[in-house]
Amino acid sequence: MNDWRISEKIDKVKPLLDDISPTFCLAKWLYVQIHLPHGLTQSCYHPPAHNIPLDELEQNPSALHNTKFKIAERKQMVLGKQPPGCEYCWKIENLKNSEQISDRLYRSSEDWAAENYDYITDNEYNFNVKPAYLEVNFSHACNQKCIYCSPHLSSTWYDEIEEFGPFKLKTLGKKFNHSTTITEVDHLHNDIKYLEEQGKLPFEVRKENKVKKKDNPYVKAFWKWLPHIYDNLHHLRMTGGEPLMHKDTYKVLNYILENPSPNLQIGITTNLCPSNNSTFEKFIKILKKLENPIDNNVLKIWEKNNYLKEITYFAKNDNKNIRQKDGSYKWQNWPRFIVNDNEKVDKEIEPTLSRIDRKKIVGVFNEKNRNETTGDFFYKQLWLKPINNNWRCLGSTDFEKEGNEGIVDNFSAYEHLMLYVSLDSVGKQAEYMRYPLDFKILENNVHLILKNLTRTNITFINTFNLLSVSSIQYFLEFVHNLKNEYGFDKVTFDIPFLEYPNWLAIDILTKDFLQYMYDTEKYITEYDTFSEKEIKKVERNIRYMEDKILGENDYSLQRKNFALYIDQLDKRRNTNFLKIFPEYTEFYNLCN
Ligand code: SF4
């Protein structure tokens, strides 16, 4: 969205928020990230995730979002206090003389939040709110083990650590409990025992409460809760693990097929490279179905779901005044309706139609529906679904004549799907970072998605770590070529920089690596394929790197850990870092 549009929205929403309190944030009510394998929940992605108590969940599945803990934070906000979990925003808002806008304002002014202002403020602070933005992961099952990931987030990582044990690295600490000096001591990285003690392991692999994946109480609660919140959802994003490997991902997609939602924006974060091709085929098949959902089976399900109203009607060209000067047609002049092929005018249709947004329905009639010879209008069929007490038109079917098979018009079970594809480089270097990725397969799958799906876009997420730097231009060339082939908006990218583990962060590189970024800065501005937002993100990373690399910082410990980590990684995975990244030789030697 353009900057001016965002600030216009913020200007509109800020006084409304201030009306409640100076710390009121709609995201605390409407945005939730739920980690079902771990039994954790958080509002937006800044506050730390907290436990979902099982006793609260037993009483009400809405505790997946409305925990007592979160409700207490909402109360603080209504009273104008700053809940500590939202530190990320308070830091920005407490800056003196700063013009920076906090995420509290950004998030609250987004459509999914602002549209729900009355819904939130007409209720008490402690009501069980239905979220509008839901991000969920069902399992930590993943076929890749990215170098910066961890065993509690990827099953393949978990298996590797079980086989080889944690990585032996260094940290600063006391050698003995009674010591007073801080020095370099041993540190275990990706240690399953430590993660277990911290309660970070997925519920199903925790020794204390090991349960079968299918019996995970959080997943069960999710399925109970979904039908209650579904109509309020604007965004539904699934993450992982690797969502293509999770049966619940397909269950959600089938749920959407059976319960179409014309406002819904779906997001899936994926590596788009499942271990076997049949998984990808299954995935693309359901996406195609979602784009063109109508068949007899689906219609039967809709009828059973009882929200489908099928209205068939036509108009004879017996009223010459129906076409207006501007070419549009006047609703009240439509001479006749036929409901469900019943020749009689059904009296019951009027109240139904009066609840429909008439403009939208009128819009369905156009020249396409007119028989050029007779001037008669064709039959139409509309599929309608009540959403929050309003009837929404999901789509329509044109009939050339009664009884003919209809041509489906402007219909999809959702509004839009964004695939967030994780990719930190291209070719062999990408494969090293997202082991055991097969770049060729990924590339092929990307083309299949872009060729076959019209409502699906791809955003590549490059988790910008120190190994992404030397190939950033190749990565952008890859994106640029896809943009040229499929459309500038159809393919986009983001490059959030990696903060942890700090020995893989761009901060610790040496000055010479800045040149890769300067060349890229030149490259990206040469083409009009990249948006201003994308260019700004690259520039932001360059300025960040300059700040860290040219500043007076001591990265000796992180560099030592980098070399220790890479050596152990190569040994376990039978890879050869310097062969794949020869341009890092000098840096690697410096770290040793
Ligand atoms: S105040 Fe900030 S951190 Fe807290 S929920 Fe809102 S956007 Fe998220």
State residue 393's pLDDT score.
55
- Average pLDDT on 449-456 reads 95
pLDDT higher for 309 or 388? 388
Name the band, by pLDDT with cuts 50, 70 and 90, for residue 399. very low
State residue 361's pLDDT score.
32
Question: Helix or strand or coil: residue 375?
Answer: coil
265-270 and 235-239 strand pairing: parallel
* CB contact burial 199-211 (16+ within 10 A = b; e otherwise): ebbbbbbbeeeee
CA distances (Å), origin 438, targets 240, 362, 431, 434? 19, 51, 6, 9
| Contacts (Cβ under 8 Å, ≥6 apart) of 211 | 203, 204, 217
Q: Which of 218-232, 289-303, 357-371 has the highest mean pLDDT?
A: 218-232
Span 235-276, pLDDT tens digits:
999 998 999 999 999 999 999 998 888 779 999 999 999 999
Give the integer Cα–Cα distance in Å for 501 and 332: 66
Per the CB < 8 A criterion, the answer to whether 412 and 403 are in contact is no
State residue 76's pLDDT score.
97
Point out the ligand 1 atom lying closest to the alpha carbon of residue 46: 3
Span 197-206, pLDDT tens digits:
988 899 888 8
Q: How far is the CA of 9 from the centre of ligand 1 (A)?
A: 17
Nearest CA to ligand 1 atom 1: 104
Nearest CA to ligand 1 atom 6: 104
Nearest CA to ligand 1 atom 7: 104
Point out the ligand 1 atom lying closest to the alpha carbon of residue 103: 7
Name the band, by pLDDT with cuts 50, 70 and 90, for residue 409. very low
Per the CB < 8 A criterion, the answer to whether 478 and 537 are in contact is no
Give the integer Cα–Cα distance in Å for 106 and 7: 9
State which of 89, 90, 93 you would mutate to test the pocket of ligand 1, scoring each by most atoms of that ligand within 8 A of its C-beta: 89
Span 469-522, pLDDT tens digits:
999 999 999 999 999 999 999 999 999 889 899 999 999 999 999 999 999 999
Span 165-193, pLDDT tens digits:
999 999 988 877 777 788 889 999 999 99
Span 97-138, pLDDT tens digits:
667 788 899 999 999 999 999 999 999 999 999 999 999 999
Dihedral in degrees, nearest 10, Cα atoms 518, 524, 527, 532: -130
Point out the ligand 1 atom lying closest to the alpha carbon of residue 106: 7
Residues lining ligand 1, CB < 6 A?
25, 27-28, 43-44, 46-47, 86, 88-89, 103-104, 107
Give CA 253 to chain center in angstroms: 14
Q: How far is the CA of 40 from the centre of ligand 1 (A)?
A: 17
State residue 183's pLDDT score.
86
State which of 86, 101, 105, 129 you would mutate to test the pocket of ligand 1, scoring each by most atoms of that ligand within 8 A of its C-beta: 86
Span 275-325, pLDDT tens digits:
999 999 999 999 999 988 777 777 678 767 755 544 444 444 444 434 445
State which of 23, 25, 135 you would mutate to test the pocket of ligand 1, scoring each by most atoms of that ligand within 8 A of its C-beta: 25
State which of 103, 105, 108, 110 you would mutate to test the pocket of ligand 1, scoring each by most atoms of that ligand within 8 A of its C-beta: 103
Give the integer Cα–Cα distance in Å for 331 and 349: 14
- The pLDDT of residue 70 is above 60: yes
Tokens representing 375 are: 């001037």
Span 516-572, pLDDT tens digits:
999 999 999 998 899 988 998 899 899 989 999 999 899 999 999 999 999 999 999
Q: How far is the CA of 132 from the centre of ligand 1 (A)?
A: 15
pLDDT higher for 584 or 382? 584
Question: Helix or strand or coil: residue 345?
Answer: coil
State residue 204's pLDDT score.
85
- From the DSSP assignment, how many helices (H) and strands (E) are in the chain? 24, 15
pLDDT higher for 274 or 334? 274
**Of 213, 208, 115, whose CA–CA distance to 155 is shortest?**
213
State which of 18, 23, 46 you would mutate to test the pocket of ligand 1, scoring each by most atoms of that ligand within 8 A of its C-beta: 46
Q: How far is the CA of 146 from the centre of ligand 1 (A)?
A: 29
Q: What are phi and psi of 276, to 5 degrees?
A: -125, 150
Per the CB < 8 A criterion, the answer to whether 470 and 513 are in contact is yes
State residue 381's pLDDT score.
54
Q: How far is the CA of 88 from the centre of ligand 1 (A)?
A: 7
As a whole number, the mean pLDDT across the chain is 84
Point out the ligand 1 atom lying closest to the alpha carbon of residue 104: 7
Q: Which amino acid is residue 414, in one-letter code?
A: Y
